[in-house]
Amino acid sequence: MKLAVCVVLFHPTEEDGKHLSFLKRYASHLFVYDNTQENRGLPAVYNDALSQASSAGCTHLMILDQDSRFTKAVLDQYLSCIGRNKENGVILFSPKHRGVSSQGCAFKKDRMSLSSGWVIDVSHAKSIGGFDESFFIDEVDHEFVLRAWSKGYTTISFDNIVLSHRLGKKHAVWKIRYTCYRPERYYYMLRNFLFLFDRYAGHAFVKERRGYMLKFFLKSLCFCSNRYKIVKMLYRGYKDYRARNQGKRIDIV
């Protein structure tokens, strides 16, 4: 396996620089995208990294969010497990994002996972057209996996390998846990889920995701302090879905 690594940054810090130096030890090529000014959107960045990795002769591409961290021991284990896996037609490998790492390479096939930490087979990803840039942000990973499954590819998720990943600050009221995001994110969350639902309405994951999204929006509207701006963004997202407007429509600041 010849590995390239893609890291997307937004207002990078000194700590991010240290993490990049750590990743250089593992990557044949390291692609770093500072999205602070240009804000191209994740699928465009990922597609660019796939093209560069392919041109450089890399067989696999790891993608990492800014808030994701591997320890040396866990990353060594992850890459070793990938190298030992003999399953056919695997388009990507993924770690877990909750729990504690342990020994072994136990895995589950075709389990949905977050994109940070994916190790993607470059040729397989390019064969299905890469990432859908019309999504810009949110549901990008889910759309990619659902499309890969529909094309007959398999995904592998390791049970013993955990990537440290922050999903936003958690809050709780009356033991109800919720997370608040910038209002602009809610625009893309709703709009892109509706487009995802249109494409894959019959899939069990999408039906389950619909219930999750409904609960998420309701909790945000009940408990987040910026609820009025959230309502405005949800309305704009729904309007653009009905108008079939995709791509970058609102800046994430």
Q: What are the sequence ranges of the domains in the chain?
A: 3-165, 170-242
- Amino acid making up residue 187: Y
| Confidence band, pLDDT 50/70/90 cuts, at residue 235 | very high
> Does 169 score more than 60 pLDDT?
no
pLDDT tens track for 170-191 = 666 667 787 899 999 999 999 9
- Give the pLDDT score at 170: 63
pLDDT tens track for 29-57 = 999 998 887 778 999 999 999 999 999 99
> Does 67 score more than 90 pLDDT?
no
Mean pLDDT, residues 131-142: 96
- Give the pLDDT score at 173: 63
pLDDT tens track for 193-229 = 999 999 999 999 999 999 999 999 999 999 999 999 9
Q: Alpha carbon of 94 to those of 79, 113, 190, 196, 239: distances in Å?
A: 11, 7, 25, 21, 35
- 3-state secondary structure (DSSP) of residue 38: coil
CATH number (3.90.550.10, 3.20.20.70, 3.30.465.10, 3.50.50.60) of 3-165 reads 3.90.550.10
- Those residues with Cβ within 8 angstroms of residue 103's Cβ, 6 or more apart along the chain or in another chain: 77, 160
Q: Long-range contacts of range 103-108, CB-CB < 8 Å, 24 or more positions apart? A: 103/77, 103/160, 104/159, 104/160, 105/77, 105/80, 105/81, 105/158, 105/160, 106/158, 106/159, 106/160, 107/81, 107/156, 107/157, 107/158, 107/159, 108/156, 108/157, 108/159
Could you identify the residue written with the tokens 């639902």? Answer: 197
> Does 156 score more than 60 pLDDT?
yes
pTM of the model: 0.94
Q: Over pLDDT 70: what percentage of the chain?
A: 96
Q: How far apart are CA 148 and CA 229, in angstroms?
A: 35
